[in-house]
Structure 1
Amino acid sequence: MCALRAGPRRQRWLIHFQEQVQNILGDRLRPRGYVGHWLIVAATVALAAVSAIAVGAQPADILPPGVTPMDVDPLAAEPLETDATPAHAPFAEDIPGLDYTLTITGTEDPDLLRIFDGVSLLRELRDRPPRTFAGLLRRIEEDLDRFRTVLRSEGFYGGTVDFEVDDEADPIEVRITVSPGEPFGLTRYDVTYVSVNDVPPPTTPSLEDLGLSIGMRARAARVVTAERRLIDHLINDARPFAQRTDRRAVVDHRDRSMTVDVFVDPGPPAGFGPATFDGLDRTKLDYVEQWIDWNVGEPFRQDSLDDVQSGLVGTGLFTSVVVTHADALDADGNVPVTVSVIEDKPRSIGGSIGWSTDRGFGGRAFWEHRNFFGRDEDFRLSADVDQLEQGGRIEFVRPNFKRLDRRLFATAQASRVDTDAFEGFTGSLETGLEWPLGGNWFASAGGLIEYSNLDDGESRQSSVLGGIPLRVSYRGADDDLDPTKGVRFDLGLTPFAGQSGTATFFHLTEIATAAYYPIDQRRRYVLAGRTRIASIVGEETSVIPANRRLYTGGAGSIRGFGFQLVGPLDAANDPIGGRSALELTGELRARIWGNFAVVPFVAAGNAYDRSLPDFSEPLRWAAGLGLRYHTPIGPVRLDVAFPVNRRPDVDDRFQFYISIGQAF
């Protein structure tokens, strides 16, 4: 058995001598396998012994020469470099790698062990074993340095790291013993301002604001982060040129303490100067100036510059936004600001296609201009066509209307419809405003005028309605086409009044929710659920225009049943529609291989003639299985669904759906 054990300093001597002997003898001895290895080890031990006599041994409890009990600048980080045996060393192709195992002992702290595993070169290169014993020792030495750096960064400045190698075992056993010792505490943190020519000097944030406290473990990362917070505080306190000039961190091994002195040049106080925009072409200057929330001369704040950048990036108008301030003050003691942008192309065209057994083939095409008048207006023309409905739509959206975050929208649409429930023409105009309520909450209000001429199987009726759509929504999902986490909530209240054969007044209330819960951290397995409940009060079903009645069934509600077929039916088994509806859906989205996923799902619901679900008819249940192929623009969806409590004379045995995007 050959077991090597070395202290922190002597480990480098062993590796150095091993490499020197390897250089002298290795090439000649390498073809002879372990004979050469044993000679190298023997020579190494002999050279190490001679060196130990010449230099003199150091007891383990004595600090290395040149290091006093007061270690200065213990926060200086050492680079973590990868050191691997060259792939094309002599005879490398003839020598198998030296397999090894690694055991880390000496501490049961799970956080430390996790960090050690994360930085260990021996762990990282475990599947690429070294071809020489010297290569293995180099990896060990690298890990020892990394582990010492970890100990210091975690506040264990008196900790030691040692190792043992059993090269007689197969595979070779490497044991690294870490003795963290007691953690060191922060006993003082002082900030000194240099080159302060003004009175009074800048304010210093409290230790709590810097993320520090006296007595806390002296973790290097916390101390360095405190410096960044200090500089950020000064930059946001009218000191745009603040910078750290020096730091003195002293560790006292006698009482296991750290003291830190930070020296900062705060620079002169400054106010905001004028803002200049560079790179504008189609975009109007007065529109982007909305994000400038300061007046010339007001105290400088870096946060305001960051807000300008994030706000302009959020418009989607620019491929690049860079906000900078000048390197010096102007004659008035202010710092000018420059906003440099590169505009994105504003026009795009697109489309999608789909197919389902209840609606047949269908598609959508659109043309869009995202900066129509130069103030971020979205103007969109679209057409939707399938076997049941053909229509067109014009949409106009003006973001940041009169103030930031308020959205003006207007929509005009017309369509020709021919379903089992009704056939005819509908057209509408709608406009309104949407604004944030805080967080992910939004509200909107507007006006709606709608005309329809429809035949519901009983009679043809022309209707004119006016409505006031009011809506509150919560948008907490992480993606529109493929959500994996979060919640959506939508509450809509719309009173309608108008003429539909007779004077008509009714009120529509609709609540829809969707929730997404990732089972694993990578979000490859997601539980998703959706509910919808709707109610109409004020008129009988027969008085309400057919297109405003409530229906369920189809791809967007209860997969497995035909479009609008779940609910009241007439003598010919055509849907009548109702005044209340309930829908429930749950599914598991499981990405089982690469971009492919399977989605088992279940759905239930029904529509009722009364204003609230009375369950005079049972819920209609369906179950199915879907396939997904995930693409950059969203998942391609293929679903097949089967009605569980099928009505023999009404429902087909299954339904197919093909489209882009998740079902909800």
Structure 2
Amino acid sequence: MAAPAGYALEKIEFQVVGGNEDLADDLRASSLLIAAETEGTTEAQDLFTAARAEYARLVGALYAQGYYSPVVRVLIDGREAATIAPLNAPASISRIAVQVDPGPPFAFSRANITPLAPETELPDGFAVGERARSGIIRESVTVAVDGWRGIGHAKTATSGQNIVADHAQNTLAADVTLNPGPRLRFGPLTITGEERMRERRIRKIAGLPEGEVYSPEELDRAAGRLRRTGVFSSVAMTEDENVTSPDLLGITATVVEQKTRRYSFGAELASFEGATLTGSWLHRNLLGGAERLTINGMVANIGAQASGMDYSLGVTLDRPATLTPDTTLSFHVDFEHMDEEDYVSDGAATGITFSHIFSDRLTARVGVEYSFSKVDDDSGDYTYRNLSVPLGLTWDSRDVKLDATEGYFLDATAMPFLGFGTTDSGARLTVDGRAYRSFGADNRVTLAGRVQAGAVFGSDLLNTPRDYLFYSGGGGTVRGQPYQSLGVNILRSSLPDFKIGGLAFMAVSAEVRTRITERIGVVGFVDAGSVGAQDFFDDLGDWHAGAGLGLRYDTGFGPIRLDVAAPVGGDTGEGVQIYVGIGQSF
């Protein structure tokens, strides 16, 4: 029943003795009563319950900051809340006062955890003379236990603790004893919860090394491999309570499968290139072994100002845990029609790729691909056929893939190719490097930079497949310049000149991203790119640049991007270009 209007809660007073504003802020943030007031709670029973729990909540917060002789009072209309029996709870409450005297801070007189595993380093704050925060004790014990678990002692536990506060000296003596237990090996893996997935494939994908020395990192990697398949909405790896003689620790993998099929659609819009529509259909578990079948379709340059529509269709089948638990085998077939400003092309490609994940940051790939294309441009008709061996390496330490604020990204690809007929042989190299750094209050300002470069070696310009050549301009290279507006001009004595992509390319981009609110941000950016006929910055090549402003709205799964840019260098474009999409530009 709500309190009568005349006895409604008027105020919660919160007072901390000593003038330590940082401590006072921490205590207010921990207070159940302040939280109740913020939420608009007025029911007397709810306030009374929060008041009785306030003592333990504030004492715990004080211990966490190293104060072990506090005095906490919670007065309900002048009565100490702790002295009011629950059966005599007040029917109405008009005033609550919280008074906290934290007392003096305590320092460690002893800080000892034994035994420690070799090379274990405890946190710096767990040392004689340092502030005796309770949190640093828990953190240090966790580090010490993890040290033993990391070398196979999975059942390490505390066997004794002696923590004594000396109120006369304002010190705390902390002695903790660990029992590492025996060194264990991985026992059998038990799997529960699977429905469509074959149990044998789950074991193969997890790659848990049964019989080898226990390692929490290996356990985490096994769970990560299962999650990475996309088959499961939940994966939990649980250690057995008991050890199987002589030294085996069984593991239970509990999985929950999600729906096998998924559809996705995407759209981007640019004023010069027009609209791009993409769609995909995915089957996560085609044959019961986490085989992933993906069909992708794209229609691009819808309404483009200087070219016709491009469209493509691709089918990819991925099989994880091929050769090793961290290696995925992919087979793909792709068809595309490209109606560009300078040429029209119809092509197809098929190939296989092995991708290997070395760590959360490092991935490598190698493949074999055959491609075919027929090209019609101002110089005539060409047929290109080649066999290539793409080799790639990706390093990704970004904190958030679609909206990075810290970290680095580097992708490098080397692709030797063997041409047939009139197609030359050579090698194509590309590099894409990105860096992010944030600063200011709550890291609201992010500096982002990108460098792209590519080159084709050993192949004549006209005898190189058109999709291996490089252009610049558009949302992926130089914003403010029309899409693929920068190439190289081929000069002919008796025939008209025509434009074609170059064998060398470089582009740089820089952005300053600033969050105005939690969801809205603004971006200032500048891009520049160059294309060379044979080499970087050769006489037949040229450069251009663009700059502009952007607006970002954080949707929770990635920002919606709106960029407005104009040319600031070169002669390949004029006017304003507009770009709309999801995710940062890079």
Deviates more, 1:262-271 or 1:487-496: 262-271
Q: Residues of 2 paired with 1:592 and 1:178: CA distance?
A: 39
Residue matched to 1:309: 223
SS, match of residue 338 in structure 1: strand
1:388 to 303, 309, 314: 309
Residue matched to 1:435: 356
**Equivalent residues in 2 for 1:378-417 (5 A)?**
378-386=292-300, 387-417=308-338
Q: Residues of 1 paired with 2:253 and 2:14: CA distance?
A: 56
Alpha-carbon distance, 1:230 to partner: 5.4
Letter in 2 for 1:355: L
How many corresponding residue pairs? 550
Q: Residues of 2 paired with 1:581 and 1:236: CA distance?
A: 47
Q: Residues of 1 paired with 2:407 and 2:100: CA distance?
A: 44
Residues 89 and 267 of structure 1: is their aligned pair in 2 closer, same or farther, counting only changes over 3 Å? farther
**Residue 622 (structure 1) aligned with residue 546 (structure 2):** yes
Residue matched to 1:660: 582
1:426 to 316, 330, 347: 347
2:106 to 160, 173, 183: 183
Alpha-carbon distance, 1:454 to partner: 0.7
Whether the 8 Å CA contact 2:452–2:507 is kept in 1: the answer is yes
2:18 to 105, 111, 114: 105
Alpha-carbon distance, 1:107 to partner: 5.4
**Equivalent residues in 2 for 1:328-477 (5 A)?**
328=242, 334=248, 336-386=250-300, 387-438=308-359, 440-477=361-398
Letter in 1 for 2:410: F
Whether the 8 Å CA contact 2:486–2:542 is kept in 1: the answer is no
**Equivalent residues in 2 for 1:145-544 (5 A)?**
150-157=61-68, 180-181=103-104, 183-187=106-110, 189=112, 205=117, 209=121, 211=123, 212-213=126-127, 216-229=130-143, 247-260=161-174, 272-290=186-204, 291=206, 293-295=208-210, 305-328=219-242, 334=248, 336-386=250-300, 387-438=308-359, 440-499=361-420, 501=422, 504-520=424-440, 522=442, 525-544=445-464
Residues 106 and 98 of structure 1: is their aligned pair in 2 closer, same or farther, counting only changes over 3 Å? closer
Q: Residues of 1 paired with 2:581 and 2:151: CA distance?
A: 53
Where do 5+ consecutive residues of structure 2 fail to align?
75-96, 301-307
TM-score by length of 1: 0.70
Letter in 2 for 1:187: R
SS, match of residue 311 in structure 1: helix
Superposed CA offset, 1:630-653 (max 9, x none) = 334533333332223463xx6342
Whether the 8 Å CA contact 2:424–2:460 is kept in 1: the answer is no
Q: Residues of 2 paired with 1:448 and 1:509: CA distance?
A: 16
Whether the 8 Å CA contact 1:98–1:130 is kept in 2: the answer is no
Superposed CA offset, 1:291-348 (max 9, x none) = 353435x666666544433432333221222333444455767554332211112211
2:529 to 582, 600, 605: 605
SS, match of residue 644 in structure 1: strand
Residues 585 and 141 of structure 1: is their aligned pair in 2 closer, same or farther, counting only changes over 3 Å? same
Residues 456 and 405 of structure 1: is their aligned pair in 2 closer, same or farther, counting only changes over 3 Å? same
Alpha-carbon distance, 1:254 to partner: 4.4
Q: Which has the greater radius of gyration? A: 1
Residues 104 and 636 of structure 1: is their aligned pair in 2 closer, same or farther, counting only changes over 3 Å? same
SS, match of residue 512 in structure 2: strand
2:480 to 543, 550, 560: 560
Identity among equivalent positions (%) equals 24
SS, match of residue 566 in structure 1: coil
Alpha-carbon distance, 1:548 to partner: 2.2
Whether the 8 Å CA contact 2:151–2:214 is kept in 1: the answer is yes
Q: Residues of 2 paired with 1:306 and 1:480: CA distance?
A: 21
Q: Residues of 2 paired with 1:545 and 1:151: CA distance?
A: 70
Q: Residues of 2 paired with 1:128 and 1:281: CA distance?
A: 44
TM-score by length of 2: 0.78
The RMSD of aligned alpha carbons is 4.3
Alpha-carbon distance, 1:460 to partner: 0.7
Residue matched to 2:90: none
Deviates more, 1:544-553 or 1:458-467: 544-553
Residues 413 and 152 of structure 1: is their aligned pair in 2 closer, same or farther, counting only changes over 3 Å? closer
Q: Residues of 2 paired with 1:88 and 1:213: CA distance?
A: 52
Residues 588 and 189 of structure 1: is their aligned pair in 2 closer, same or farther, counting only changes over 3 Å? closer
Q: Residues of 1 paired with 2:147 and 2:430: CA distance?
A: 48
Letter in 2 for 1:533: A
Q: Residues of 2 paired with 1:214 and 1:426: CA distance?
A: 72
Letter in 1 for 2:546: A
Q: Residues of 1 paired with 2:350 and 2:39: CA distance?
A: 68
Residues 612 and 593 of structure 1: is their aligned pair in 2 closer, same or farther, counting only changes over 3 Å? same
Alpha-carbon distance, 1:446 to partner: 2.0
**Equivalent residues in 2 for 1:575-654 (5 A)?**
575-593=499-517, 595-614=519-538, 619-645=543-569, 647=571, 651-654=573-576
Alpha-carbon distance, 1:283 to partner: 1.9
Residues 207 and 596 of structure 1: is their aligned pair in 2 closer, same or farther, counting only changes over 3 Å? closer
Residue matched to 2:84: none
Whether the 8 Å CA contact 2:120–2:144 is kept in 1: the answer is no
Q: Residues of 1 paired with 2:510 and 2:542: CA distance?
A: 18
Superposed CA offset, 1:30-83 (max 9, x none) = xxxxxxxxxxxxxxxxxxxxxxxxxxxxxxxxxxxxxxxxxxxxxxxxxxxxxx
SS, match of residue 610 in structure 1: coil
Residues 102 and 128 of structure 1: is their aligned pair in 2 closer, same or farther, counting only changes over 3 Å? farther
Q: Residues of 2 paired with 1:368 and 1:140: CA distance?
A: 54
SS, match of residue 188 in structure 2: strand
Whether the 8 Å CA contact 1:420–1:575 is kept in 2: the answer is no
Residues 306 and 180 of structure 1: is their aligned pair in 2 closer, same or farther, counting only changes over 3 Å? same
